[in-house]
Amino acid sequence: MENGNYTPLFNLDSFERKPRFTNGFFQRDVLSVDQFSKDDLDYIFARADEMQAMSRKWGTCDLLKGYTLACVFYEPSTRTSSSFIAAMERLGGKVIPITEGIQYSSVSKGESLIDSMITLEQYCDVIVLRHPEIGSSSTAAKYVKVPIINAGDGAGEHPTQALLDLYTIKSELGTIDGLRISMAGDLRYGRTVHSLTKLLTKYDVSLRYVSPDTLRLPLELMNTLIDKKMDVREFSRVEEVIENTDVLYVTRIQKERFTDLAQYDEVKGYFNIDAELMQKAKEKMIVMHPLPRVGEIAYAIDKDPRAAYFRQVQNGLYIRMALLAAVLGQA
Amino acid sequence: MENGNYTPLFNLDSFERKPRFTNGFFQRDVLSVDQFSKDDLDYIFARADEMQAMSRKWGTCDLLKGYTLACVFYEPSTRTSSSFIAAMERLGGKVIPITEGIQYSSVSKGESLIDSMITLEQYCDVIVLRHPEIGSSSTAAKYVKVPIINAGDGAGEHPTQALLDLYTIKSELGTIDGLRISMAGDLRYGRTVHSLTKLLTKYDVSLRYVSPDTLRLPLELMNTLIDKKMDVREFSRVEEVIENTDVLYVTRIQKERFTDLAQYDEVKGYFNIDAELMQKAKEKMIVMHPLPRVGEIAYAIDKDPRAAYFRQVQNGLYIRMALLAAVLGQA
Amino acid sequence: MENGNYTPLFNLDSFERKPRFTNGFFQRDVLSVDQFSKDDLDYIFARADEMQAMSRKWGTCDLLKGYTLACVFYEPSTRTSSSFIAAMERLGGKVIPITEGIQYSSVSKGESLIDSMITLEQYCDVIVLRHPEIGSSSTAAKYVKVPIINAGDGAGEHPTQALLDLYTIKSELGTIDGLRISMAGDLRYGRTVHSLTKLLTKYDVSLRYVSPDTLRLPLELMNTLIDKKMDVREFSRVEEVIENTDVLYVTRIQKERFTDLAQYDEVKGYFNIDAELMQKAKEKMIVMHPLPRVGEIAYAIDKDPRAAYFRQVQNGLYIRMALLAAVLGQA
């Protein structure tokens, strides 16, 4: 082995990785829907449109070449982790996927979430974090310098889901203002319903909530809507709202939230979006669902052009691409 | 944040991702060995040769730049998933690996395989699927637009294994026609034996089947061979066939297929390909095995140039590269 | 499908992947700290400096374009596997990550470690191996042609950790010779302490070992130090050594090593590096820890510029980048 004077590996003068856009989202954490102004939403949606166009024409690009994402899932969520991984890879960035075994690994040796996050930050430029405890992403963001994107913190928030939901409405119907949006299913525990509702308060929309009695929208959220003088009403049957609805947002009754399974058995199968119901709906209505579904929407509906739930999944990819690029200063 | 007129991120006029070869395999699913004509096999084998040459000279290339693979394993199979991941990465494509936690994730929330597949298809251009149920890949292919490559559907098929087996015979011996091919081991449950047999019926070969009485080739498959007037015979000892054999294809007795462990104990250790046996074999014979082995082939044989089983593993990489490129229109 | 004459996919004359540096580390396994001469260490540390400079300026590069790493973890270790994955990806190489399910997969079908390694070698150019059994990496290296990097073999070695520890001392303090290095914690079972000690015997350093009585440095290692006439002494309290220490290397008391939990309860909490203690330390002292910590270092210390343990984590990335590039002939 030669000693002392080694042939250098790199000519580092040739190029330097630099943020292109330093205002707005650069280095910002994405923790909650509350942090997004209407201008922010417009910006991210415009960038998501570009991501879609790029994906269709090129498939992938080099926008995030030089950047690395640590994608950390303390609880499995194939849909969300796949979406973030695909998003980063399509932008030419690198991914360190950390999912399996995480509970048997450092954490079981007594390591705190904070130490794990600071450790991972040494390897990457941005962290996507899913963790079962409310507030975990916000806590992590306090200690970690790289941007944290909250990919779900238990019963807390899942902001990228709410953004992709809203983006889907805008993409599908061209506007958000003026629409009548009906949400049906588990409105009590359904995190996606709560987050989307919060975002929709920024717009001029009519909100219709449809649920069994035991799964109505939480009191505080309803009071917020009333205080903001939103056009809001509650129902117990989808049939009562279907005719005038522009967006039907259906959610799964989440078995895992019930301590009393008898109560679950009572309400499961409460909804059934089928061909008969769809006949009463507007021609331009869209059906959305955060998936997975467990019987709320009949498979036969998938072929109906109004079934937007799989396009909604794809929109998640574009929204996450836009967010990743934005917090890294490349959009 | 600026509003309205944003600096565009991409100049999309500069290039468009396009299929280069739109005949033959483009957008086709790879579900079963039955779908391959002899011309198809010739084509894939020729492409696999190119993949091998490229891998040796460059290591990786950009042939599938712009394309994304979702590699979905509902049951673990390190060998097969690694092979597909390596194949896609060597071609410059992106991979979303979905293995761990899949059973605890959406599926445990009640999601159907079909919904999972349609969801993943939103993120990718091709899906590799391993699933324990027979017919799962074919079912998925009916609902999903992107090509599905079956990486094993339980006791059903594992077509890429059969293709790499046949490709190995051709690579090693220069031809398939005229060879005497002896298969030994678990011929009853051995999926690889069944699939390779089916492919070999397209060629002018002599087939010798060697197994304990309880693990003989299934009746229907034997009848197919007889109907096709193949030169076929059954034996109970490798010693009886070794001298005139060109290809000795050995399989593991699969403990997990036995409900009666006493029956397993009776037949395990039935075969032992060792130096003594190899002395009786032709100088140009090759030994193949789909791996893992559990004692059927002595470790000492590994150094014998006729031991082709690790080269066979490597051929799997080239075959999968060829197939991925072909279904995406790039080969 | 056309037959016979296919349009070739590649023009293979244009370029050939070749090693740039064929002396020294090229194709060498990294199994133990014992294999590193002082010149070797200087070389790797110089390369690690370059890796750091490149990472800060570019993020990623193409130095290992064309090369593939199989990163095989038979026991989970998020920190180490993430570090190797990030290292390879930053260098433009491909990664086949093999972690989860490995115990349920081929191994449970009875496959030997050797067969698994020879199988994986067919897909890649270098293997990183973590396995719970002592000597597993050395055994694998005997059978496998591609370089093996030992990422921990149970109670055996974890050479890249020792290298990054030593590199951190040099990076932080500019030198190794002349320093007083105090190691505190579990000196009996702490693999990192043993490996770092071995490396430090090549330098002119003073060594101070601080531990409870039941967790003192093993006899043989102490005798080695005495035989080499190292300046070495043992203590039972950090307070006794803190004032003259240049490097305070703290380790976790490893609960999992104790068969008698009563004994663990006696010694846990034995150390507590807190603000009061740090006041007595030199202004230029550094605190190191291989992490995870479980209370040995107060969180308040993290803000002290002398807390080097997270920079130490980052140095692991650069050391692993240097090693990967070196064994592949690209550094």
Distance, first Cα to last Cα, chain C: 45
Domains of chain C: 19-157+317-327 (3.40.50.1370), 160-314 (3.40.50.1370)
- Looking at every residue in chain C, the average pLDDT score rounds to 93
Catalytic entry in B109, B145, B229, B303: B109
Does residue A183 register a pLDDT over 60? Answer: yes
pLDDT of residue C107: 47
Q: What percent of chain C has pLDDT over 90?
A: 82
Phi, psi (5° rounding) for residue A81? Answer: -65, -40
CA-nearest residue to B325 within chain C is C9
Dist. CA C159–CA C195, nearest whole Å: 7
Cβ–Cβ < 8 Å for B36, B24: no
Cβ–Cβ < 8 Å for C74, C103: yes
One-letter amino acid for residue B248 of the chain: L
- Lowest mean per-residue pLDDT among A58-62, B274-278, C102-106, C202-206: C102-106
Does residue B6 register a pLDDT over 90? Answer: no
| C228 burial type by CB count under 10 A (0-12 exposed, 13-18 middle, 19+ buried) | exposed
Chain B interface, mutation test: which of C6, C71, C112, C115, most B Cβ atoms within 10 Å? C115
Dist. CA C275–CA A168, nearest whole Å: 52
Tell me the β-bridge partners of B149. Answer: B30, B128
d(CA B70, nearest CA chain A) in Å: 9
d(CA C232, nearest CA chain A) in Å: 30
Helix (H) or strand (E) segment spanning residue A69 = strand A68-73
B245-264: average pLDDT: 87
**Of B76, B86, B293, which is closest to C101 when you measure between CB atoms?**
B76
pLDDT of residue A253: 85
Dist. CA A327–CA A146, nearest whole Å: 9
pLDDT of residue C330: 97
Stated pTM of the model? 0.95
The tens digit of pLDDT for each residue in C85-135 reads: 999 999 999 999 997 555 544 444 446 899 999 999 999 999 999 999 999
Task: Tell me which of B271 and A50 has the higher pLDDT.
Answer: A50
Tell me the residues of chain A between 98 and 127 that have a Cβ less than 8 Å away from chain B. 99-101
Cβ–Cβ < 8 Å for A205, A175: no
Does residue B93 register a pLDDT over 80? Answer: yes
Residues of chain B found within 8 Å of residue A61, distances taken between Cβ atoms? 10
Dist. CA B239–CA B58, nearest whole Å: 43
The tens digit of pLDDT for each residue in B13-47 reads: 988 999 999 988 999 999 999 999 999 999 999 99
- For tokens 């996050």, name the residue: A117
Does residue C40 register a pLDDT over 90? Answer: yes
d(CA B288, nearest CA chain C) in Å: 13
- pLDDT level of residue C259 (50, 70, 90 thresholds): confident
Residues of chain B found within 8 Å of residue C100, distances taken between Cβ atoms? 76, 99-101
**Of B76, B252, B255, which is closest to C105 when you measure between CB atoms?**
B76
pLDDT of residue A20: 95
The tens digit of pLDDT for each residue in C55-85 reads: 999 999 999 999 999 999 998 888 999 999 9
Q: Is C78 helix (H, G, I), strand (E, B) or coil?
A: helix
Distance, first Cα to last Cα, chain B: 45
- pLDDT level of residue C184 (50, 70, 90 thresholds): very high
- Looking at every residue in chain B, the average pLDDT score rounds to 93
**Of A39, A294, A331, which is closest to B9 when you measure between CB atoms?**
A331
What dihedral do alpha carbons C133, C138, C139, C141 form, nearest 10°?
130
Cα–Cα–Cα angle for B303, B304, B306, rounded to 5 degrees: 135
Number of other CB atoms surrounding residue C188 within 10 Å: 18
Q: Copy the structure tokens of residue B129.
A: 């699927």
Dist. CA A331–CA B292, nearest whole Å: 48
Instruction: Please report, for residues B246, B247, B251, B305, C214, the alpha-carbon distance to residue B282 in angstroms, rounded to integers and kept in the order given.
Output: 7, 10, 20, 12, 64
Catalytic residues of A: 79-80, 109, 130, 158
Q: What is the CA radius of gyration of chain C?
A: 22
